[in-house]
């Protein structure tokens, strides 16, 4: 019959991953859940920081100048990364500002002292899905960000070689994570 022939050929609908379909509150809950994993603060602590951030920056963004000034007041001279470098890395869309999530990730490095702490921070920042693994795309973002922090522009071939070397060194079972 016609129905049997068409079986399995109908349109399939998948739930959209389009973030614009989520409400503002759903987006906030998702952001806070990711930050809990990445910055090791409680739900309450992150919500308090969010409220403070929104009170200080009602548009939900902090400018480069404001970030640099605030970062210097938070970490002083003991910061592990210069505020200008952090801003370059976390202002991914290059619009001259950071949202709350970017701000939290950038300022979370304030008290890092050991190499292990710094490495764990880098890992948590770039493990975008908080899955406990860094995939090839995330490795590339790390490399690009490190070059940005250094203020260095590199050719695509050099970038690719760095990513490949890192993957070969750390992906012992070859599964791409």
Residue that wins the pLDDT comparison between 128 and 96: 96
| Cα 115 to Cα 123: distance, rounded to the nearest angstrom | 12
Closest CA to 43 of 53, 33, 54: 33
Closest CA to 100 of 138, 169, 48: 48
| Cα 63 to Cα 164: distance, rounded to the nearest angstrom | 35
Average pLDDT over residues 125-130: 72
Residue that wins the pLDDT comparison between 101 and 9: 101
| Cα 45 to Cα 51: distance, rounded to the nearest angstrom | 10
**pLDDT of res. 135:** 79
Distance in Å from the first CA to the final CA of the chain: 47
Within 7-133, where are the H helices? 24-39, 43-56, 64-75, 83-90, 100-107, 115-126
**pLDDT of res. 20:** 54
Distances (CA, A) of 133 to 50, 112, 170, 171, 172: 27, 21, 11, 10, 13
Residue that wins the pLDDT comparison between 18 and 97: 97
**pLDDT of res. 82:** 75
Q: What is the rounded average pLDDT for all residues in the chain?
A: 77
Residue found by looking up tokens 């994993």 in the block: 37
The pTM of this model reads: 0.61
User: What percent of the chain is modeled with pLDDT above 90?
Assistant: 16
160 token code pair: 């690719």
* SS3 category, 152: coil
| Cα 91 to Cα 88: distance, rounded to the nearest angstrom | 6
Quick one: pLDDT band at residue 1, thresholds 50, 70, 90? very low
Average pLDDT over residues 65-87: 76
Note the Cα 154 to chain centre separation in Å: 21
Tens-place pLDDT, residues 144-177:
877 877 777 888 888 888 888 888 887 777 776 6
């Amino acid at each position: 019959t016609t129905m049997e022939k068409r079986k399995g050929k109908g349109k399939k609908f998948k739930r959209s991953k389009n973030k614009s379909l989520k409400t503002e509150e759903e987006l906030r809950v998702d952001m806070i859940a990711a930050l809990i994993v990445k910055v090791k603060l409680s739900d309450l602590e992150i919500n308090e920081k969010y409220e403070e951030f929104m009170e200080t920056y009602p548009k939900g963004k902090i400018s480069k100048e404001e970030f640099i000034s605030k970062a210097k007041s938070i970490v002083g001279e003991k910061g592990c990364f210069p505020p200008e470098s952090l801003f370059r890395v976390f202002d991914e869309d290059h619009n001259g500002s950071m949202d709350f999530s970017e701000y939290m990730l950038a300022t979370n490095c304030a008290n890092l002292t050991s190499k292990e702490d710094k490495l764990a921070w880098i890992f948590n920042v770039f493990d975008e899905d908080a899955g406990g693994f860094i995939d090839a795309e995330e490795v590339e973002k790390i490399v690009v960000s490190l070059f940005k922090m250094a203020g260095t522009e590199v050719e695509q071939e050099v970038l690719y070689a760095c990513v490949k070397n890192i993957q070969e060194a750390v992906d012992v079972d070859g599964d791409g994570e």
